[in-house]
Amino acid sequence: MRRGLLHLAALAACLAAGCGREAPKEAAPLRIVSTSAAATHILLALGAEEELAAIDSHGSIVPGAEHIPVAGRGSVLSLEELTRLRVNRAVLWYYQRELAASLRDRGIAVTTVPPLRLGNYAELVQRLGELTGRKREAQRLVGEFQAALPAASEKTGPKVYWELYGPGRAVGEESYFGDLLRLAGAENCAAGSAGGGSVSLEAVVARSPEVILFMEGSGSAAEIAARPGLAGTPAVKSGRIHPVDRVRVLEGVDPAGAVRYLHELIHRKERK
């Protein structure tokens, strides 16, 4: 009788300890592919380099990302490469819906990056901090970001026309680049437009820009100055037509540094 009770007690202890059950599988290490330069920059700043398994080719321009494996270009990713790199999470731009659906069908979880503005940048940092288990680092980054941004000035700065990759394609007021311009102390000549939209040459001339910016590699100061009507604008008369280094203003990559860079361009002294 006593021996039987001992056997029962041992059996109960064994069951309580999980004897006979398979040990729970450990969660697979987080392996991320990022097609967002902003997310790539933030992940690296969070110290999540080991989790960042792959990027798309556009992300190679992000400082520090040069050595990360490239798994494709834009929304065209190599499934073979993702499999080889054991990717189990994708961080994609909001507009990459087809890619998101395709990856989910293959068991890869997706985190979406919304249309980026300076106002929601801190939220993106916090989301990626939660994803990678680096909430403390995310709080630190958010604090540094908020401290580094200058306060919006109530004073009216120089009127700036910022052209994106071709005539009439202007930086809109309600956009990430528009936010940068505003904090850099400029009055946007494309005020009233939401994102990057079209603006006529006549409208640009009528707003009499004092500074003209254009993306480096998409034109030249001489070509812009030669356009009909622009020769009479303050920007052309003073020679304040400046190329913008794309790497310095990448969407979501060091926004505070981008504001400082644009401020320097916009407030350069006029030609004597």
The type of residue at 201 is: L
120: buried, middle or exposed (CB in 10 Å: 19+, 13-18, 0-12)?
A: middle
pLDDT < 70: residue spans in the chain: 1-26, 151-156, 192-197, 269-272
pTM over 0.85: no
Res 12: pLDDT: 55
* Cα four-point dihedral sign 134, 136, 138, 144: negative
Res 10: pLDDT: 53
Comparing CA positions, the residue from 189, 192, 196, 197 lying closest to residue 234 is 189
Q: What would the two tokens of residue 269 be?
A: 């002294």
Res 272: pLDDT: 46
Give phi and psi for 152, each to the nearest 5.
Answer: -65, 130
Res 152: pLDDT: 59
Q: What would the two tokens of residue 98 be?
A: 């087809």
Res 198: pLDDT: 76
Res 5: pLDDT: 47
- For the chain, the 3-state helix, strand and coil shares in percent, each to the nearest 5, are 40, 15, 40
Res 22: pLDDT: 54
Res 16: pLDDT: 55
30: buried, middle or exposed (CB in 10 Å: 19+, 13-18, 0-12)?
A: middle
Domains annotated for the chain, with CATH where assigned, are: 32-148 (3.40.50.1980), 159-266 (3.40.50.1980)
Res 255: pLDDT: 93
Res 19: pLDDT: 57
